[in-house]
A and B are shown apart, each in its own frame.
Chain A
Amino acid sequence: MSITRRIALGTTVGLAAPAVLAQAPTRLRVSVIPVLDVAPLHAAIREGYFTAENIEIDTSTTAGGATGLPGLVAGQFRVVFSNCVSIMLGIREGLDFRFISGAAGSGPQPPDSMAVLARKGSGITSGRDLEGKRMASNTRNNIVWLRGMAWVDKTGGDWRRVTTVEVPFPQMADALAGGQIDAAVFSEPFVAAALQTHGDRLERIAWPINETAPGSTIAQYVAMADDLARNPEVFDRFARALHRGADWANARRGDNALLELVAGFSRVPIERLRLAAFTTYPKGVSVGELTEVIATMTRFGLGGRYPAPATLIHRTAAV
């Protein structure tokens, strides 16, 4: 009890008077998902970058991110990691999210962290083959779904004629192998897991991001606009530490040190991580990539009135 009170007091003092920061760490609650994309945050925690900025990070892991963005609005979190499409949909509905940092992106060419898998011998190789069939993504109307639909369109299919079903990543391989679905958009490390365990029955038929929008953005960190306006220096410190974590992770791509870090926080066996393709870890968010996402969303039924992307990028993400 007294510890909690001390932290609460510390937070207030830290926010009100930067001069006395030395004694009082700022406690920030961050909503994350247990995926590879949040490696920089965990790196920054473990390497002491947040401590160096006098910030104490309290992560709250939510599978699928269902409580992430609503929790940000409700004040449960100060920072939320989420995919670009979910964030933009919130902004479209008038929620004052601002991008404070990039988190994960796709590389310019394969291998990439998202893949479309189908059953071997099913003859399905394109979006056209999937018309009238069932394709899974972990959630509707998120980045996984959007890139999956863009790939269907690009490969000659009518995305409206493909039935999309929601299947959580951990259950996708079984559902696909068992014939309940005909294709699925997987994200790592579930691609590696599916090919490792169901490799005799499943195969990769596409890299949906590389084939439709190479080098595009996947996920970001966001905060509320009014919080940013009130406590700009807290988020400056947060972003500095997080970006040092991104440097740490980017410098160790394919390295054992990075794999061990991810295995530690996600509990995914390290042998499986060795087979997984990692996302890039960008520090910034650009007008160009947000414009692309909004344009793609509009093409696939998620259009509407979006603010100018430049107004959504906080200074910490303008790198």
Chain B
Amino acid sequence: MIGQLRNASGIGLVLGLLLLWEASARLGWVASPNWPPVSAVLAALLRDVMTGEIPTLVGGTLWRMAAGLFAGGLAGVVVGLGFALLPFVARLFAPVVELLRPIPVPAVIPPLVLFLGLDNTMKVTVVALTVFFPVLTNTVQGVRAVEADALAMGRTFGIGALRRVVFIVLPASLPYILAGFRVALALALVVTVVAEMIAGEQGVGHYLVMMQFAGRAEEIYATVLLLGVLGYALNRAFLLVERRMIHWWFALGRQSAA
């Protein structure tokens, strides 16, 4: 009940801000053609959704994001398990990972264009690189947090090392891994759009740049709003999946409801 009320107040704030936006444009508080009223922005959004242009672009962007998320996430989990379970792997690769991790991915897009071109290969790679590091770090943390009792029990029952990893370590570290994916998801959307803005005629990012050059402010803000809603929806959807996958974790009450 209180939670519902709190949610409602949050939505109220959003509506209030949108109203402020509308008023600031209509009443000339911000007098620039590059600051259109939100109603005109929504009209532009609706128009391009109805023509089918926006849905196609969003579909392409989400596809590239998902492909990158899958590839980078899988690599992050596998390498993370290796790091946490095999000390020599950690000793060998930790310096490389720590050096590469802080590099902002948009900075490496131009050289990647040289090797991977301008199309999906480059964009998916860029997203995968972005996703890889948070998933890797969280996987390592997750494996370290697996309770020694659980592992000892597995050993007592004579379960082999590989099966212990798949059936004990992996499920037990899943809450951490999923938390890594949640961080990666938000980054992945950002980076997909940035990569599309830099090169090639694909997706929401290219649409955004084209509209900037065409001087169509309504469409620019429509895209920005759309990306905000898209990011929000992706996060909500992810939370639902997370709850289904690790309901036991929430049942333990270690994490307060998000």
Interface residues of A (CB under 8 A from B): 34-35, 59-63, 66-67, 70-71, 74, 76, 168-170, 173-174, 177, 189-190, 193, 197-198, 266-269, 272
CA distance A315 to B206 in the complex (A): 35
Instruction: Give the size range of B's interface with the partner.
Output: 20 to 34
CA distance A266 to B211 in the complex (A): 8
Cβ–Cβ < 8 Å partners of A62 in chain B: 198-199
Closest chain A residue to B211, Cβ basis: A267
Interface core residue of A67, A70, A173 (most chain B CB under 10 Å) = A67
- B201–A60 touching, CB < 8 Å: yes
- B window 147-201: CB within 8 A of A: 197-201
CA distance A169 to B200 in the complex (A): 20
Cβ–Cβ < 8 Å partners of B209 in chain A: 63
- A67–B215 touching, CB < 8 Å: no
Closest chain B residue to A263, Cβ basis: B214
Closest chain A residue to B35, Cβ basis: A174
- B213–A76 touching, CB < 8 Å: no
How many A-B Cβ pairs are below 8 Å? 70
Q: 6 additional contacts, CB 8 Å, given A63-B197, A190-B215?
A: A60-B118, A67-B110, A70-B114, A71-B199, A267-B211, A269-B214
- A267–B201 touching, CB < 8 Å: no
- B212–A76 touching, CB < 8 Å: no
- B216–A267 touching, CB < 8 Å: yes
CA distance A61 to B216 in the complex (A): 17
- B201–A59 touching, CB < 8 Å: yes
Given contacts A60-B118, A71-B118, A174-B34, contact A34 B113 (CB under 8 A): no
- B32–A34 touching, CB < 8 Å: no
B12 at the interface (CB under 8 A from A): no
Write the B225-243 contact mask toward A (1 if CB under 8 angstroms, else 0).
Answer: 0000000000000000000
CA distance A259 to B220 in the complex (A): 22
Q: Chain B nearest CB: distance from A138 CB in Å?
A: 11
- B window 85-128: CB within 8 A of A: 110, 113-114, 117-118
B210 at the interface (CB under 8 A from A): yes
Given contacts A59-B201, A61-B201, contact A34 B215 (CB under 8 A): no
- B214–A34 touching, CB < 8 Å: yes
Given contacts A70-B113, A71-B113, A76-B113, contact A63 B212 (CB under 8 A): yes
- 5 closest A-B pairs (Cβ-Cβ)? A197-B33, A267-B214, A170-B212, A74-B114, A268-B214
Cβ–Cβ < 8 Å partners of A170 in chain B: 212-213, 215
Interface core residue of A168, A169, A170, A173 (most chain B CB under 10 Å) = A170
Q: Chain B nearest CB: distance from A274 CB in Å?
A: 14
